Copies of this chain bind each other. A is one copy, B any other.
């Protein structure tokens, strides 16, 4: 099943069921008005939504509308919690190398995870607003899951059962803001920009054997300004899998329905798969040539992130965003 939230002028958008081919959508206000409402009552609403999805895909559903990703919010337009892991240690190694920071031994024992801004997620086709190109604007392509209510100290065995939906992520990172911020010791705040998710969220049953309950064995395709940056495999080199990430997050607290858990930037030790962020390309260029030749993103640059099934069909629709200059209203 595929779900989306369409823009309607409210902070939470309106929930729609989207056809498998991403062509058609149907509002479902009689089942749940918003994605947050749906995930809070998932046990009750999922069978109803799945029935609508079957009818929609079979062409048996009246009153459908064309699905336009440009009219979509992120599937959860906002969330009460966004926890982003960094499960691909290949990414962590390269980025820390670029920052001149060593890998602490703790990084191999338990997941690195930060709590990000979830109060307003950017739509999948909305601009990425930045006030300064000098921030070092980078993309980060990831997979994320939405969970229902998860108790504190859930076991890894039980954690996977709480995964209800998958999305793609563009976790904008401001590489030149981050070092001074992390030096203060409390993690990211200014250094992570606004985060966008794919046009639709997808239930686990859509993936067949590509989802084994722990990792999603598909490649993420990333383009910058129309040129492919990489196609790393999400199922390879994921040092901490999704149940492990969820269990880690619940060590000292429960997670509420609608919590979003990210994988971190997908990254393979096989560098021929390319990259899901610019920083890794720059780190390798620096090792090889003494300096990076790839630039961070500038105003007008674009990034496209998507994932295809074995038949080449887009599963989530594409995140496709352009960097735009933010001008505070007072200076406009």
Residues of A within 8 A of B (CB): 11, 40, 78-81, 83, 86, 101, 104, 106-107, 112-120, 129-131, 135, 151-155, 158, 174, 177, 180-194, 248-249, 251-256, 258-259, 326, 328-330
User: 5 additional contacts, CB 8 Å, given A104-B185, A106-B181, A152-B326?
Assistant: A81-B117, A86-B186, A106-B180, A114-B186, A185-B187
CB distance from A215 to the nearest CB of B (A): 22
16 A-B contact pairs sorted by A residue (CB < 8 Å): A80-B80, A80-B118, A104-B184, A106-B184, A113-B186, A114-B189, A115-B116, A115-B188, A115-B189, A120-B253, A120-B256, A129-B152, A152-B326, A154-B328, A187-B188, A190-B252
Q: Which residue of B lies closest to A82 (CB)?
A: B115
Give min CB distance, A298 to chain B, whole Å: 16
| A329/B188 contact (C-beta < 8 A), A80-B118, A118-B81, A135-B252 known | no
The complex is assembled from copies of this chain, and their number is: 2
A193 touches B253 (CB 8 A): yes
Residues on B with beta carbons closer than 8 Å to the beta carbon of A330? 155, 158
B113 and A254 within 8 A (CB)? no
Q: Pick the 5 closest A-B CB pairs, nearest first.
A: A187-B187, A80-B119, A81-B119, A119-B256, A114-B186
The docked-state distance in angstroms from the alpha carbon of A187 to that of B191 is: 13
* Closest residue on chain B to residue A251 by CB atoms: B190
Nearest Cβ distance between residue A104 and chain B, in whole angstroms?
5
- On whether the beta carbons of B119 and A259 are closer than 8 Å, the reply is yes
Compute how far the CA of A161 lies from the CA of B20 in the bound complex, rounded to whole angstroms. Answer: 47
Q: How far is the CA of A186 from the CA of B120 in the complex (A)?
A: 21
Question: A191 — nearest CB in chain B belongs to which residue?
Answer: B252
Please give the distance in Å from A131's CB to the nearest CB on chain B: 6
Q: Is the beta-carbon distance between B253 and A117 smaller than 8 angstroms?
A: yes
**A259 surroundings in chain B (CB, below 8 A):** 119
Is B78 within 8 A of A256, CB to CB?
Answer: yes
Chain B residues near A154 (CB-CB < 8 A): 328
* A252-B115 in contact (CB<8A): no
Task: Determine which of B11, B112, B174, B329 lies in contact with A184 in the assembled complex, contact meaning CB atoms within 8 Å.
Answer: B112
Task: Check B106 against A183 for contact (C-beta < 8 Å).
Answer: yes
- Contact indicator A177/B252 (Cβ below 8 Å): yes
Given contacts A194-B253, A252-B190, A254-B120, contact A78 B78 (CB under 8 A): no
A131–B185 touching, CB < 8 Å? no
In whole angstroms, what is the CA distance A183 to B282 when docked?
Answer: 25
Which of A158, A184, A251 has the most CB atoms of chain B within a 10 A radius of its CB?
Answer: A184
**Shortest CB distance A171–B (Å):** 13
Distance in Å: Cβ of A4 to nearest Cβ of chain B:
20
B187 touches A186 (CB 8 A): yes
